[in-house]
Amino acid sequence: MGLGRLLVATGLVLVVLGLLVSYAGRLPFRLGRLPGDIYIHGKHSTFYFPLATCLLLSLLFSVVLWMVRR
């Protein structure tokens, strides 16, 4: 029964990722360009750290793994 849940959860994650990639241009936000992402552009350098994107993806993966373990 554990393997079946794992396969179902993996399939759902793949479907969600596929839909996200397919419709990414139509979303009201862009992953990697969220309001909490840090972007500093200097004269000769650029620093970019996608903080909000990392937090959002971490939350999503945590929920998926929590659902798989239940």
Residue 70 has pLDDT above 80, yes or no: no
**Span 1-27, pLDDT tens digits:** 578 888 888 888 888 888 877 877 776
CA 13 to CA 5: how far, in whole Å? 12
Packing angle of the helix pair 2-22, 51-69 (nearest 10 deg): 150
Is 32 in contact with 39 (CB distance < 8 Å)?
no
Q: Which pTM value belongs to this model?
A: 0.59
Residue 44 has pLDDT above 90, yes or no: yes
Structure confidence at residue 31 (pLDDT): 67
Structure tokens at 63: 């929920």
